[in-house]
């Protein structure tokens, strides 16, 4: 029986080096909040596969649904046949999506969903251009690379990229060193300036925004900014697309992050947490917009796969019936309070921010410069102690906390103890 990484020494060199690896773990299994390596060591997984396993690893209800569906129908292409899991998924989604949403299209990945949303916006409006925000991450395909501005590594060497994309500043108050009111007004003024100087309103199909900035640093925008953004879109007939690929399905303590801001998107993109680990994504919109989408102009072979859809139905049921939204709020408050207490002891933590269980700790040196070295050192030290964390942000100086929505009070306490020990080690190095 394989018991160590060395047993795969002949295979590992054949994996493409384009994949970076944050840990050396080869997982043998995973359950709940834990991943187990080949030797059986347990790691507290506060990455959730980048916000995917919101219900925890191998949730019994999800696994049961997958097993049952796998014996009934593996694949039914949506242009040829419809199947029950897709229809049941729409039934499960209707009560939880924003009230403006009543049309559904399913695909496989987050990038596919974003591309689909842009294609829908262009057909529905007859306009070509899109505005995105600095620090955004929307995917790695050619079109979504053009929309992604969180790090140059995602674009460098692939340009020129598709055109028609314009960039406005995200309301990142901590980075600017301003109040939320100052930040909101400046960012809205700059957005108006983009519409005056780069893309005219009559040629702008959509504004695409992450309601909580994900890979760009786990930044929560002021509510007033999103209110102003909605008003601007309404004024100019521009569609507002909310990218909830990382923030959706309970991650922020609500089904969707837009609920925290009373924001009504015209189009919603989802993926990650919808399938508890299976590849499924969606473009959700007002049906009257989807009726302007030219039939046959968009599609895909595997979109809305029967097994993935069955897993998604079970995911929604588990989140609802097991009160995971409430747990995310309670455990998120516990984690935030613990991190802010550590911030008082370790001023290298410049900011603690987030909603629910989508929390970022930003590291800065004494001069407020981004401190990637300490952030990375702390993440490594946590890994050595059995806690898996990820960094993010343009400078990789933000540690993002993404525990599963089932995380317990004791597991949060354990993670905070590990993090403090890691901070001590990082400070001493």
211-244 pLDDT, tens digit per residue, is 999 999 999 999 999 999 999 999 999 999 999 9
- Its CATH architecture, for the domain 61-321, is 3-Layer(aba) Sandwich (3.40)
Query: With 90 as the cut, is the pLDDT of residue 166 above it?
Result: yes
181: confidence class by pLDDT, cuts 50, 70, 90: very high
- When pLDDT is averaged across residues 98-109 and rounded to a whole number, the result is 96
> What is the predicted pLDDT for the residue at 104?
98
Q: Check if CATH label 1.20.1250.20 holds for domain 5-58+323-428.
A: no
Exposed, middle or buried, 425 (CB in 10 Å: 0-12/13-18/19+)?
middle
Per cent of the chain over pLDDT 70 is 100
**Which distant-in-sequence residues (6+ apart) come within 8 Å of 351 by Cβ?**
174, 360, 361, 362, 364
Torsions phi, psi for 120 (to 5 deg):
-60, -45
Tens digit of each residue's pLDDT (9 = 90 or more) over 354-407: 999 999 999 999 778 999 999 999 999 999 999 999 999 999 999 999 999 999
Query: With 90 as the cut, is the pLDDT of residue 426 above it?
Result: no
Quote the CA–CA distance of 278 and 58 in Å, as a whole number.
11
Classified as helix, coil or strand, 404 is coil
Number of residues assigned to the chain: 429
Query: With 90 as the cut, is the pLDDT of residue 3 above it?
Result: no
Query: With 80 as the cut, is the pLDDT of residue 428 above it?
Result: no
> What is the predicted pLDDT for the residue at 377?
96
> What is the predicted pLDDT for the residue at 367?
75
Helices (H), 247-397: 287-290, 306-321, 324-345, 372-384
- When pLDDT is averaged across residues 255-273 and rounded to a whole number, the result is 98
> What is the predicted pLDDT for the residue at 368?
81
Quote the CA–CA distance of 144 and 212 in Å, as a whole number.
18
Buried b (16+ CB within 10 A) or exposed e, 27-62: eeebebbbbbbbeeeebbbbbbbbbbbbbbbebebb
- Report angle CA 398, 52, 240 to the nearest 5 degrees: 80
CB 276 within 8 A of CB 53: yes
Quote the CA–CA distance of 308 and 409 in Å, as a whole number.
30
3-state DSSP: the chain helix, strand, coil percent, rounded to 5? 40, 20, 40
The distance between the two most distant Cα atoms of the chain, rounded to a whole number of Å, is 65
72: confidence class by pLDDT, cuts 50, 70, 90: very high
Query: With 80 as the cut, is the pLDDT of residue 100 above it?
Result: yes
- In Å, what is the CA distance from 390 to each residue of 63, 133, 327, 370, 377? 26, 22, 22, 16, 11
Domain with CATH 3.40.640.10 in the chain: 61-321
Q: Would you tell me how many other CB atoms lie within 10 Å of the CB of residue 91?
A: 11
- When pLDDT is averaged across residues 304-333 and rounded to a whole number, the result is 98
> What is the predicted pLDDT for the residue at 2?
61
Domain with CATH 3.90.1150.10 in the chain: 5-58+323-428
> What is the predicted pLDDT for the residue at 333?
98
Residue 211: alpha-carbon gap to chain centroid: 10
pTM above 0.85, yes or no: yes
> What is the predicted pLDDT for the residue at 250?
98
Torsions phi, psi for 131 (to 5 deg):
-110, 130
> What is the predicted pLDDT for the residue at 1?
60
Q: Is the peptide bond before 160 cis (omega within 30 degrees of 0)?
A: yes
> What is the predicted pLDDT for the residue at 427?
79
290: confidence class by pLDDT, cuts 50, 70, 90: very high
């Amino acid at each position: 029986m394989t018991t160590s990484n060395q047993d795969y020494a002949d295979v590992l060199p054949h994996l493409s080096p384009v994949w970076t690896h944050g840990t050396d773990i080869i997982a043998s299994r995973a359950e709940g909040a834990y991943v187990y390596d080949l030797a059986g060591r347990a790691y507290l997984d506060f990455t959730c596969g980048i916000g995917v396993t919101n219900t925890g690893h191998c949730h019994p209800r999800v696994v049961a649904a997958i097993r049952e569906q796998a014996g009934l129908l593996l694949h039914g292409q949506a242009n040829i046949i419809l199947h029950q899991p897709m229809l049941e998924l729409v039934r499960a989604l209707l009560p939880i999506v924003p009230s403006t949403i009543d049309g559904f299209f399913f695909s496989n990945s987050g990038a596919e969903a974003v591309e689909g949303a842009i294609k829908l916006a262009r057909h529905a409006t007859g306009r070509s251009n899109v505005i995105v925000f600095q620090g955004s991450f929307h995917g790695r395909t050619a079109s979504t690379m053009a929309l992604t501005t969180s790090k140059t590594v995602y674009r460098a060497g692939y340009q020129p990229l598709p055109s028609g994309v314009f960039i406005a500043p995200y309301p990142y108050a901590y980075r600017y060193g301003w109040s939320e009111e100052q930040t909101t007004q400046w960012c809205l003024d700059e957005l108006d300036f983009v519409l005056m100087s780069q893309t005219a309103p009559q040629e702008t199909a959509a504004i695409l925004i992450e309601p909580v900035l994900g890979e760009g640093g786990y930044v929560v925008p002021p509510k007033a900014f999103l209110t102003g953004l909605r008003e601007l879109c309404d004024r100019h007939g521009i569609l507002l697309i909310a990218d909830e690929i990382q923030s959706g399905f309970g991650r922020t303590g609500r089904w969707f992050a837009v609920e925290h801001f009373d924001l009504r998107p015209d189009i919603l993109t989802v993926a990650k947490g919808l399938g508890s680990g299976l590849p499924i994504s969606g473009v959700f919109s007002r049906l009257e917009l989807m009726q302007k989408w030219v039939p046959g102009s968009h599609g895909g072979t595997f979109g809305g796969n029967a097994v993935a859809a069955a897993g998604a139905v079970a995911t929604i049921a588990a989140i609802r019936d097991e009160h995971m939204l409430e747990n995310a709020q309670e455990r998120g408050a516990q984690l935030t309070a613990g991190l802010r207490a550590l911030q008082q002891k370790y001023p290298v933590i410049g900011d603690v921010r987030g909603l629910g269980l989508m929390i970022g700790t930003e590291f800065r040196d004494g001069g407020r410069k981004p401190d990637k070295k300490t952030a990375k050192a702390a993440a490594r030290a946590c890994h050595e102690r059995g806690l898996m964390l990820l960094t993010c942000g343009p400078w990789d100086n933000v540690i993002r906390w993404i525990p599963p929505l089932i995380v317990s009070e004791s597991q949060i306490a354990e993670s905070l103890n590990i993090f403090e020990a890691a901070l001590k080690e990082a400070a001493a190095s």
